Amino acid sequence: MNGSVARWDRVLIGAQSQGLLFTGLQNAASGLAKMMGRPVSIGAPHAELVPISQITASVGGPDAEMVGIYLLMTDELPGQAIMMMSLSEALRLVDLITGAAPGTSVELGDIERSALAEAGNIAVAFFLNALGALAGTAARPSPPAVMVDMLGAILDVIASRAAAVDDNLLIVETTFNYPEGALQAHFWVLPDLSIES
């Protein structure tokens, strides 16, 4: 869709782009905060072109066991998005979402995965909403996939989808921080800038 490149252009290029992305990421955090009923801040928001071979570096060792909540974005702002955290953080997040006492969730069953999926959904939807308001588009994420696996395996999903186009990934990233809950989740948005997406 030719139109989709132009839409990302509005967000990624120009003097206002940094502000737009920042607003998007902050909105994602506020969505998560609403869901958790607690304040969530963002850390080190930035957009970077990363060679595919190095994408695990900022998150952890490639065989570290992680939870990844993965979504596709389509329509006018196509691309991929993922929220990543350790298994223990994921369990803490589930407790915060469900309002259970800390330590209640001990493994990721269907209900827990569903809660995580919704967190990912909210984060990406709020991100896109902020951009939509500014870039004049409407975009929704796909239903999320919750993956529990080695980090490298999770990121294979992202890398293989993007590698068909380029060997550098444009990653818009931040961390969602909730200090009292010892929660720090990596959040990435990867715009798909190819003409045919």
Partner 1 sequence: MVSNSLDDVLVAYGLGSCVAVCLYDQSARVGGMLHALLPNAPDGTGVQQNPIKFVQQGVPLLVDAVLKLGATPGRLVVQLFGGAHMLSAPGFRNSLNIGERNVQAAELALKRAGLRVHNQVTGGQIGRTVRLFMADGQVMIKTRGQEEQILVR
Rounded to a whole number of angstroms, the minimum distance from the CB of residue 169 to partner 1 is 11
Distance between CA 148 and CA 144 in Å, rounded?
Answer: 13
Q: Which of residues 166-185 bind partner 1 (CB under 8 A)?
A: 167
Distance between CA 131 and CA 26 in Å, rounded?
Answer: 11
From 5, 33, 134, 157, residue interacting with partner 1 (rule: CB under 8 A): 157
Whether 77 and 7 have beta carbons less than 8 Å apart is answered as yes
**Axis crossing angle, helix 2-12 with helix 110-135, rounded to the nearest 10:** 80
Question: Phi first, then psi: what are they for 30, rounded to 5°?
Answer: -70, -35
Rounded to a whole number of angstroms, the minimum distance from the CB of residue 194 to partner 1 is 11
Specify the residue, 9 or 149, whose C-beta has the smaller distance to partner 1.
149
Query: What is the pattern of x (binds partner 1, CB under 8 A) and - over residues 8-47?
Result: ----------------------------------------
Nearest CA to 42 among 16, 12, 21? 21
Residue numbers of the site for partner 1 (CB under 8 A)? Answer: 51-53, 56, 61-63, 65, 70, 72, 142-157, 159-160, 163-165, 167
